[in-house]
């Protein structure tokens, strides 16, 4: 009952978010043909062009580099963060749930169990939203005459999932503070923007939520970002525990 209820609550957000990410992934792959045509113009950049911009352009001379820069580091990091926060926002106790809150409270289950089921279902949806678009890149690449290995695609997807659980769990915690969906969603997205800006100002490779999300260390060195994954898992678990404690003390 609880599992099905959690699925009903989140299925529309999940399906829409997944479809949007898949469409964006296909569009990113297809745009590579236009980038290849524009690459000869990169040599005509003015002498005062920043080194960072030149480095980004050089990375995109290969299809693998282009996919990482345009998809995993930029498009998915931005759109995926929104999807993660959206999936984590709101609970079965959220106002406007058509009586579901009163019905759930009448069941012989702990509130923490209700939240745990909702959290696990959302994590499963977020895992699919992380892996499927990454695999889409690998599957669509041959359509434009390119190849992208399944292994790296899955690893990038896993890294996005692990880092994104922090945003997901953060939104779940915010949802125990507000009786609606929109405030946790907006606050969660605002926090994600702040984190992204801070990372831009701190040039430390592989350090930061979005750098872990894009598996930056793996792209540059080939090393799996175990420390980043473990850190995100610990933070995510702590946020969920805080959400469970707060929900237990909440008066309905």
pTM of the model as a whole: 0.87
Model confidence over 198-252: pLDDT tens digits? 888 877 766 789 999 999 999 999 999 999 999 999 999 999 889 888 877 765 4
Q: Residue with structure tokens 């090393």?
A: 223
Q: What pLDDT is attached to residue 38?
A: 75
Domain ranges of the chain: 2-249
Three-class secondary structure of residue 225 per DSSP: coil
For residue 128, CA distances in Å to 14, 116, 131 come to: 9, 19, 5
43-52, 60-69, 167-176 — which is least confidently predicted?
43-52
The pLDDT, as a whole number, for residue 96 is 45
In this predicted structure, what is the pLDDT of residue 245? 85
How much is the pLDDT for 44? Answer: 54
Q: What is the DSSP string of 103-117?
A: HHHTSSS-HHHHHHH
Residue 41 has pLDDT above 60, yes or no: yes
Among the listed ranges 49-53, 61-65, 179-183, 189-193, which one has the minimum average pLDDT value? 49-53
The predicted pLDDT at position 206 comes to 64
């Amino acid at each position: 009952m609880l599992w099905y209820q959690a699925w009903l609550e989140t299925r529309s957000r999940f399906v829409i978010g997944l479809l949007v990410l898949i469409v964006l992934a296909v569009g990113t792959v297809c745009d590579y043909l236009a980038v290849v045509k524009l690459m000869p113009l990169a040599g005509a950049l003015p002498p005062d062009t920043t080194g960072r911009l030149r480095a980004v352009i050089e990375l995109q001379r290969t299809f693998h580099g282009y996919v990482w820069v345009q998809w995993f580091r930029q498009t998915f990091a931005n759109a995926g963060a929104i999807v993660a926060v959206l999936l984590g926002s709101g609970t079965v106790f959220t106002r406007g749930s058509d009586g579901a809150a009163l019905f759930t409270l009448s069941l012989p289950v702990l509130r923490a169990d209700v939240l745990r089921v909702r959290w696990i279902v959302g994590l499963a949806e977020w895992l699919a939203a992380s892996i499927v678009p990454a695999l889409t890149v690998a599957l669509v690449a041959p359509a434009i005459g390119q190849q992208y290995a399944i292994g790296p695609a899955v690893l990038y997807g896993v890294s996005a999932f692990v880092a994104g659980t922090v945003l997901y769990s953060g939104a779940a915690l915010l949802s125990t503070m507000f009786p609606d969906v929109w405030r946790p969603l907006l606050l969660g997205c605002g926090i994600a923007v702040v984190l992204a800006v801070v990372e831009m100002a701190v040039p430390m490779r592989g350090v930061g939520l979005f750098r872990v999300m894009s598996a930056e260390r793996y792209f540059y060195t080939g090393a799996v970002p175990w420390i980043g994954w473990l850190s995100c898992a610990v933070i995510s678990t702590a946020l969920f525990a805080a959400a469970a404690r707060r929900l237990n003390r909440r008066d309905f």
